[in-house]
Structure 1
Amino acid sequence: MIPAIEKASVQEIKQFQEEKLKELLVYLSEHSPYYKAMFENKKIDIETIKTLEDLRKIPVTTKTDIQENNDAFFCVPMHKIIDYATTSGTLGDPVTFGLTDKDLDRLAYNEAISFVCSGIQEGDVVQLMTTMDRRFMAGLAYFLGLRKLGAGAIRVGAGIPELQWDSILKYKPKYLIAVPSFLLKMIEYAESNNIDYNASSVESVICIGESLRNQDFSPSILAKRIADKWNVKLFSTYASTEMSTAFNECEHFQGGHQHPELIITEILDEGNQPVKQGESGELTITTLGVEALPLLRFKTGDIVKLHSEPCPCGRNTVRVGPVLGRKQHMIKYKGTTLYPPAMHDLLRFFEGIQSHLIEISTNDLGTDEILIKIASDQPSEELMNQIKDHFRAKLRVTPKVEFVAQDELAKIIFPPMSRKPITFLDKRP
């Protein structure tokens, strides 16, 4: 089920996307109040936008633009909206994304071909370990994609290791869709309850929400901790509500494949100019085929690299590498630039850490301060020193570390209204 365009030549893919871009610009100029006004105010003649390179003539769209003008981005009357979704609000106020019937079909197609990329086939049974409620687009997308593919879905939802194992042992899924750090809790529960997890039906996990790879695609500490115990394949993914598109790894684990029929990607520097090939920058996307709320040159806030060397799987699409961090989460600490994902991964090295929270604040000198709050069943000065030494060795800095009670930390990490655990708090002005 690999779409023909994904096996086409690089030049054919480019020409295909340029035709789709022209169609999008006409659609936006006729239906989007926001983009129609922007074209007029910036005196942009869309007839002059003929190539992907011509996109640079158009200003970028930011999260703030959508937050401040949410309604103006809608291209259809509200009675056409079939499903309402919102962003998680990680980088500010949540944004509403409505989907039409056509958008739901596109979402299902996207997930179906993304799952195929990671090896799921018709007839496979897949356990969904993520929520479908709380206006969360991803959980619905996974279900629609599995349905379109002809795979079975077990809708267990998030959390509760006992219930997850009950379903695994009863329905024997081949795949799980899960947040990878939760797999460690699954392993812990299995070991405490005499469940032979390596003899279970589970062969692979589609991992969401957390990175599994270092920048060279070697396994992260989190991935190693899982793989050292549980003999399953771990597939990394990248997606967001704004782009209604997923980038899944194939069996060669060399980054998430782009679907050129659904999205155009750019990597931009601080001045909104394309970075040199192989350099990191902010992923900027243009959605294709979205009816209700299409986006043009939307800056995701995620710092990544694109990889364009051929993939042995036969797809000629570019691949998105692991997220280095979020632009707004960049930390300057004692002369070193840091992003939270690297710190999260280092903390997972220690099995004595039950949970953690990274807090960033500004000190009296106006510079960044890092405080890491840790819950451990065996807090000790030795563990604290090991954590600091590990940070010094791997990241060349030593943050402040303090132990707190697990129940106290859980209140911050798992607030009632949040769809995702909060393990990073940015208190900078």
Structure 2
Amino acid sequence: MIFDVDMETLPREELEKIQLKRLKALCERVYNNVPFYKKRFDEKGLKPGDITSLSDVKHLPFTEKQDLRNHYPFGMFAVSRDNIVRIHSSSGTTGKATVVGYTKRDIENWGQLMARSFMAAGASAKDMIHNAYGYGLFTGGLGAHYGSEALGAATVPVSGGATRRQVMLLKDFGSTVICCTPSYALFLDETAREMGIDIKELPLKVGIFGAEPWTDEMRRDIEKRLGITAIDIYGLSEIMGPGVGIECHEAQDGLHLMEDHFLCEVIDPESGEPLPPGETGELVITTLTKEAIPLIRYRTRDLTTLNTAPCKCGRTLARMQRVTGRSDDMLIIRGVNVFPSQIESIIIETEGLTPHYQLLVERHGNMDTLTVNVEVNESVFSDEIKNLQRLESKVQKNIKEFLGVTAKVKLVEPKGIERSVGKAKRIVDLRNES
């Protein structure tokens, strides 16, 4: 058996019966145990018993990240502190941290969902999993760790950093699966080449990459450089951590959402109205089984589409398309909407450039300006100045033609963009500092 047949291949009507039963129980639980939700329900004139169908979810209140910050640290918990066995937290770099808790059952469910995710990616108990997600308050490291152990695989808990050492461990241990951010995978390959090691010659066969948006162009680049299958995984700390959704290795055509645990919608980010499958909007998630900090209609700010058609792998779980960006990461440059992923696609398709880039947004007078700083590779860096200028002009022209925005393109030397062992920092917005 390569996945949980009972839950992952249910006819949709059977799955929706399970979801509705769990949604009703969730509404009762939060109304009775979380003052925040009781107040929100009462403001809408809602009682838990009013939820009689899955379509009624549209009447329930949204939850936003700021709500968790406003109730820092434990105001959103639905159980007593005695029942909490683990606490994770976001970094809080843009405000107060968001704090999430887990009961013993939450941790067990998380491990099982991550084991299901690894199986979907093509991993098994015979594999050795090199886990380069950060351990600690960040959910990525421990989430992948417990899932790997639940799968029965050998787990290498490397965490982030010490990149040269990581390359040596990949070579010496012969790991077959790696977990990290996609940008860090490229950094690993870059470091390995400096050490005279070709990752394509190692036993590594699968990479499970998440924690930051990435494009299909970057996927192809990673697969070509490392000689592996690159799998997209999705999750967020507020909901659980990694394991909310993952691509299957058979199709790599959208991320299967673990719908027995999460009720997922796509809404218009402006109006908040639900959108039908196939339309692009903001992903909203309701946690159906989370005990410690259940969330109703949590606005992820991630932009995607949903597809409820069964997959060729046999799973009937809905699939979300790769996250194209975040509604709160969208840049508006002189009236034009721009997402980092759109610029990334242009960069990766341009010969001579590396996938390492940064977008600098500034305001001069009343005018917003966008500068794209992007690394060239070693061969281009040694070219004549006129060739570099020609390359800058080409990228600038492509951005203008495809995105409709004028940007200044600045080529920087190899390794001129700071590397990160976690999420790559793609945007530097200085408009409020002008």
Common fold, TM-score beyond 0.5?
A: yes
Which moves more between the two structures, 186-195 or 59-68?
186-195
SS in 2 for 1:64: helix
Aligned to 1:308: 308
Q: Deviations over 1:376-417 (max 9, x none)?
A: 57384334223313323432333123456888853xx75xxx
Q: Which of these residues, 205, 208, 213, is aligned with residue 206 of structure 1?
A: 208
| Partner-residue secondary structure (3-state), 1:276 | coil
**Inter-partner Cα distance in structure 2 for 1:363 and 1:275:** 38
1:112 to 115, 119, 124: 115
Structure 1 letter corresponding to 2:110: L
User: What's the CA shift string for 1:123-180, capped at 9, x where partnerless?
Assistant: 31110112112x1111100000111111111112224442122112221111111222
Give distance in 1, aligned partners of 2:94 and 2:398: 29
Seen in structure 2, the aligned counterparts of structure 1 residues 409 and 233 have a Cα distance that, compared at 3 Å, is closer
Q: Is the deviation greater in 344-353 or in 78-87?
A: 344-353
Deviation at 1:188, TM superposition (A): 2.8
- 1:222-371 mapped onto 2 (5 Å cutoff): 222-244=218-240, 245-251=243-249, 252-269=251-268, 270-349=270-349, 351-353=352-354, 355-365=356-366, 368-371=368-371
Check conservation: 1:222, 1:349, Cα contact below 8 A: no
Cα distance in 1 between the residues matched to 2:141 and 2:147: 10
Cα root mean square deviation, aligned = 2.5
1:73 deviates by 0.8
Counting matched residue pairs gives 416
SS of the residue corresponding to residue 311 of structure 2 reads coil
Please, which moves more after superposition, 174-183 or 250-259? 174-183
CA contact (8 A) 1:177 1:205 kept: yes
Superimposed CA distance per residue, residues 207-264 of structure 1 (whole angstroms, 9 cap, x where no aligned partner): 1134454xxxxxx221222233332111111111111142110020011101122100
Q: Deviations over 1:43-92 (max 9, x none)?
A: 21110101111011112111222221233211122343322211244765
Counterpart CA distance in 2 for 1:428 and 1:59 is 33
Partner of 1:397: 405
Structure 2 CA distance for partners of 1:126 and 1:16, relative to 1, 3 Å: same
Counterpart AA for 2:77? F
**Identity over aligned pairs, percent:** 25
2:425 counterpart of 1:422: yes
Give yes or no for contact 1:88–1:419 (8 Å, CA) kept in 2: no
- Of 392, 404, 407, which residue of structure 2 is paired with 1:384? 392
Q: Residue 156 of structure 2 corresponds to which residue in structure 1?
A: 154
Q: What SS does structure 2 have at the residue aligned with 1:257?
A: strand
Q: 1:10 to 1:327 in 2, by over 3 A?
A: same
Structure 2 gap ranges (5+): none
Seen in structure 2, the aligned counterparts of structure 1 residues 148 and 405 have a Cα distance that, compared at 3 Å, is: same
Q: Cα offset for 1:372?
A: 2.4
Question: What are the residue-to-residue correspondences of 1:59-78 with 2, within 5 Å?
Answer: 59-70=61-72, 71-78=74-81
The reply to whether residue 99 of structure 1 matches residue 99 of structure 2 is no
Q: What residue is the counterpart of 1:80 in the other structure?
A: 83
| SS, match of residue 370 in structure 2 | strand
**Offset from partner CA, 1:240-297 (integer Å, 9 cap, x none):** 1111142110020011101122100011112111113311111000002111111001
Q: Deviations over 1:100-140 (max 9, x none)?
A: 2222112111111111111111131110112112x111110
**Higher mean Cα deviation, 226-235 or 251-260?**
226-235
Deviation at 1:374, TM superposition (A): 4.0
Q: Tell me whether 370-379 or 380-389 shows the greater mean CA deviation.
A: 370-379
Bigger mean CA offset, 14-23 vs 202-211? 202-211
Q: Distance in 2 between matches of 1:199 and 1:38?
A: 56
Q: State the 1:419 CA deviation.
A: 5.0
The equivalent of 2:127 in structure 1 is 124
Q: 2:49 aligns with which of 42, 47, 50?
A: 47
Query: Match for 1:248: what amino acid?
Result: I
For residue 300 of structure 1, give the secondary structure of its aligned residue in structure 2: strand
Matched position secondary structure for 2:219: helix
Task: Check 1:357–1:196 CA distance in 2 against 1; reply closer, same or farther (3 A cut).
Answer: closer
Q: Structure 1: which 5+ runs fail to align?
A: 214-219
Residue 9 of structure 1 aligns with which residue? 11
Opposite residue 108 of structure 1, the aligned amino acid is G
TM-score, with structure 1 as normaliser: 0.89
Q: How far apart, in 1, do the equivalents of 2:184 and 2:396 lie?
A: 25
| Cα contact 1:33–1:74 (8 A) shared by 2 | no
Q: Quickly say closer, same or farther: Cα 1:301–1:368, change in 2 above 3 A.
A: farther
Task: Give the letter for the 2:87 counterpart.
Answer: Y
Contact 2:347 2:355 in 1 (8 A): no
Q: 1:255 to 1:354 in 2, by over 3 A?
A: closer
